[in-house]
Amino acid sequence: DAKTTQPNSMESNEEEPVHLPCNHSTISGTDYIHWYRQLPSQGPEYVIHGLTSNVNNRMASLAIAEDRKSSTLILHRATLRDAAVYYCILRVNTGGFKTIFGAGTRLFVKA
Amino acid sequence: DAGITQSPRHKVTETGTPVTLRCHQTENHRYMYWYRQDPGHGLRLIHYSYGVKDTDKGEVSDGYSVSRSKTEDFLLTLESATSSQTSVYFCAISDRGEAEAFFGQGTRLTVV
């Protein structure tokens, strides 16, 4: 099964941009790249997803490498509320689009 | 918030007893998923469903079974609970396979 690799933790200053990297070198052509985040004692929350092209929404931007073997989640201005565990995920098209989570990156935001 | 409800939210049970967790959605989404989350492991997929009566195994399906007799409900059953199944269980739903998934608030299960 396709897997993702992320740094265990990252630190950012408040109001500065944050670039969270993810490697997914075994991605297949039909696998979608998703990002979720999880706050303590809550279920994961959807952030953004894409297939080949870069994507923007109100929460973040997703930059996907041309060979699709890596991607970067960009938070344009980190706030204290962005401190969470961020998961880079592949939605694997096996008929059921099962979703495989990696270990995630814990983002610390300093005031 | 997506209409997804997990019940119970907390449960303590004894080793060897059967346990059923329920995930209920009001969104009419086709796909439903059960995950467990343990310290150091992130979320791991147990089983998923891509339609009524259509289910498949995830990466940690041993000791678990599921059923989906109607669109809105996805049941996870531990036939004979073991201490290793102590975990937080999350249900998720999605409309299309590639679309965003919405997660429930989780069920904390303790097997003593």
Give per-residue pLDDT as tens, B14-29: 999 999 999 999 999 9
Q: Give me the pLDDT at residue B98, please.
A: 76
Specify the pLDDT at position B100.
Answer: 85
CB B97 within 8 A of CB B50: yes
Q: Helix/strand/coil (H, E, C) string of chain B?
A: CCCEEEECCEEEECCCCCEEEEEEECCCCCEEEEEEEECCCEEEEEEEEEECCEEEECCCCCCEEEEEEECCEEEEEECCCCHHHCEEEEEEEECCCCCCEEECCCEEEEEC
Say yes or no to pLDDT of B30 above 80. yes
**Best of B6, B34, B41, B43 to disrupt the A interface by mutation (most A CBs within 10 Å)?**
B43
A97 residue type, one letter: F
Dihedral angle at the C-alpha atoms of A56, A57, A59, A60, nearest 10 degrees? -10
Per-residue confidence at B40, pLDDT binned at 50, 70, 90? confident
A36 forms beta bridges with: A46, A87
The whole-number average pLDDT for the span A53-63 is 94
pLDDT at A103: 82
At A19 the pLDDT is 98
pLDDT tier at A86 (50, 70, 90 boundaries)?
very high
Percentage of the residues of chain B whose pLDDT score is greater than 90: 83
CB contact under 8 A, A97 and B45: no
Report the distance separating Cα B43 and Cα B36, nearest Å.
Answer: 6
**Cβ-based contacts of B100 with chain A (< 8 Å):** 34, 46, 49
CB atoms within 10 A of CB B19: 19
Among the partner-chain residues A1, A32, A45, the one whose CB lies closest to the CB of B98 is A32
Model confidence at A95, in pLDDT bands (50, 70, 90)? low
High-pLDDT (> 90) share of chain A, %: 72
Distance CA(B88)–CA(B107), nearest Å, equals 5
Say how many C-beta atoms besides its own lie within 10 A of residue B61's C-beta. Answer: 17
**Mean pLDDT of the region A1-7:** 82
Q: Is B66 on the interface with A (CB under 8 A)?
A: no
pLDDT in the model for residue A38: 95
Task: Give pLDDT tens digits for B83-102.
Answer: 999 999 999 999 887 788 89
Mean of the pLDDT values across residues A63-75? Answer: 96
Residue that wins the pLDDT comparison between B1 and B102: B102
Amino acid identity of residue B80, one-letter, is: S
**Neighbour-count burial for A80-100, b at 16+ CB within 10 Å, e otherwise:** eebbbbbbbbbbbeeebbbbb
Q: Which residue of A has its CA nearest to B51?
A: A96
Overall average pLDDT of the A66-74 stretch:
96
